[in-house]
Structure 1
Amino acid sequence: MATRGASSPAEATTSASGDQRMPARYTFHHLPQKSFPALENKEIRDRLLKWSMDGRITAQAFSFDQNFKGYKQDDFLMAFFNHPDVNRNLKLLSASGQWTTLDTNVRKVEAKNILCTQVSMSFFDRLYSKGVVRENGNIVKCFDEYHDDILIADELRKVLLLEESDHYNLYSNVDREEFLFCLFKHLCLGGSLCQYEDHLGPYLETTKALYKDLVSVQKDPETKEINIISTVFKVCAYDTHGLCYPSSNSHEQNFAYLIVNPLKRHIYVLYHSFGAGFFCN
């Protein structure tokens, strides 16, 4: 992941590295009992199968034992990836398409801070304008073209991927750094054999359900407003051989997000590996 100038919070990127496995500054525990209802829902699983993502996407939970301090996030992330309980339980797909675990000495972590401020799906209302999505929710089609092995067959995917699109500026660069937008984009693009939806509804419903599972909120006692308390990182990890997580190959749809709840001291990991076929978690 390329490091860019941090001109805004949305663009802040950090990198941590070490020459050897760091001594444990935090203790992490895998929480296998934690469920993520969105990924267990039959209707959503059917959609993910249609989008060539089922069996290639997973969510996991871990706990940690000390206060999370944003200014020490580099140490926190290196300690996370190299902690034995994380190392032997953090799931990823091998090149052959089999689920395995990280199980390697991580030498460097690149973490991009992802904005997480949106609390309403009205964020996507602007898609119903300017020829992207019709009033009835149908997505406007276009001539087929490809972008990084991803088929673009409608105006929605043009908005998501092509800067030269007439409607790309519906969302600013800051908007596109929002975790809600990132989730929506990943679901819309799907896997290598994705069967795209003709209607926007399934994408919005699935995004909302997954976002609700992953992001933690708190009500302000004075203003009664709902505020998000989670901190989100998009991460890549490297071992002595190079990029090892979320995949040894860099691709738009190979992703891993760490969502940190500082109050419960929980980390949720959302992972996906781009590809085809059906595999069981």
Structure 2
Amino acid sequence: MARKRKGRDISGWLIVDKPAGMTSTAVVNKVRWALEAKKAGHAGTLDPEATGLLAVALGEATKTVPYITDATKAYAFTIRLGQATNTDDTEGEITAQSDLRPTDDEIKEALHGFVGEIMQVPPQFSAVKIDGERAYKRARDGEEMDIAARRLWVEELVLTDRPDADTAVLEMTCGKGGYVRSIARDLGKTLGCHAHVLTLRRLWSGPFDLENAVTLEQIDAEARTPDLDARLLPVEAGLTDLPELKATAEGATRLRNGNPGMVFAAGDVEYGDEAWASHEGRPVAVGRYKAGELHPARVFNLPDA
């Protein structure tokens, strides 16, 4: 018999401003402890030295995590020109150097080649799997791997500041699976001077931004109090990119049992579209809309308001 998880059945989103020097998993564990939650997860890993928005899902909100990991995200990052490292950031060893320093105009011109649909090779030190094993584990053993390039949609990539000849500050808006470290590495190659990431900060992810973020210090100060509970965003905050459909009372019952349920069609929903259904102010299920019914893929076990 499986061991029953201890903790509260609490559901929602806590948006955290992650500090440098802490893994995303450690942040999730801190949030789970502070809220005494049975279940928690995050929507998109940040490297330990990266800072900024980490969306932590609790309870039933974990069922909406894929809609945030797939969402568009924005980053601000500083790159060091003239040096390449084996990790593509400051954590690694310098592998190449150059005295060449591009001008602002040369950087701006080069950035055009990184906008739109591009092919990107993840860093050697990354969580992608190679023959069933994480790349970073093999890289730590000194192995250099051929990692397949992946498609990435980059909506915007701009130079925002040039503090000095050695550094440049950029902002990028991109789709799922983007590696900022790869952008820095490849930009350095394009410019002929090498480059790696100095600092990285996630600004927003899908519907979430830093305006509603809580710091680790605030989490510690408000741990296991109603004040921290009050900071939670509702489960449906992770579904704002999908249309909402109102379920009938009978439809809500059927949906909660995993069956197609009747919903009131919205004007912007077409046959086969992904959508979510609510009843009496609470999310019931997410799935595909077909001929007046929602066919559920995920069901939420939440009480009506």
Q: How high is the TM-score relative to the length of structure 1?
A: 0.22
More strand by share: 2
Q: How high is the TM-score relative to the length of structure 2?
A: 0.21
Larger Rg, first or second structure (1 or 2): 2
Structure with bigger RCO (C-alpha 8 Å, 6+ apart): 1
